[in-house]
A = this chain, B = another copy of it.
């Protein structure tokens, strides 16, 4: 059966191959935006992405087909193409179950576990509760940094404190 998974041409990717690729090139990220209209003042935005150079655009398309969700976009900041999933439903139903069945073997695994916890809280709408949101922020900022952060953690927590009062 293994042979049928050979990723040639338009063929399927093997699920373990996907996990290995993500170990190197994938990012589990939780970012935040100020949203005065929300009661807690802060929007929580989890995302899963894989960044590759233009020569691997086909591979990103195979990845999108593999997961059956998400999109591909060009990232000006680092001149790569990103396969990206932001939908909470897709993260809960498609992305997280994959990495639970075919777990990461390296240090990224700890990031994934924090990410999965946050996504499940968001899915249950706990991110609209200031106490949960505080925990979400702490957890998100304890993940391995990838790229610049828009806000310092303390600024977010201070903002949250103001909204709560």
Chain A residues within 8 Å of B, Cβ to Cβ:
5-8, 13-25, 52-53, 55-56, 58-59, 62, 102-107, 144
B18 touches A59 (CB 8 A): no
Candidate in A14, A17, A144 with the most chain B CB atoms within 10 angstroms = A17
The minimal Cβ–Cβ distance linking A63 to chain B, given in whole angstroms, is: 9
10 extra interface residue pairs, beta carbon distance < 8 Å, beyond A16-B16, A17-B105, A25-B25:
A5-B16, A6-B103, A7-B103, A21-B23, A55-B107, A56-B106, A56-B107, A58-B106, A59-B105, A59-B106
Q: Copies of this chain, how many?
A: 2
Q: Which of B18, B24, B105 contacts A7 (CB 8 A)?
A: B105
Interface on chain A toward B: helix, strand, loop, or mixed SS? Answer: helix
Across the two chains, which residue of chain B brings its CB closest to A103? B6
Name the one of B15, B20, B62 contacting A21, with C-beta atoms under 8 angstroms.
Answer: B20
Contact residue among B20, B104, B107 (Cβ-Cβ distance under 8 Å from A16)? B20
Nearest CB on B from A12, distance (A): 10
Q: What B residues does A56 contact at CB under 8 A?
A: 106-107
Nearest B residue (CB) for A101: B2
Q: In the complex, what residues of B have CB within 8 A of residue A58's CB?
A: 106
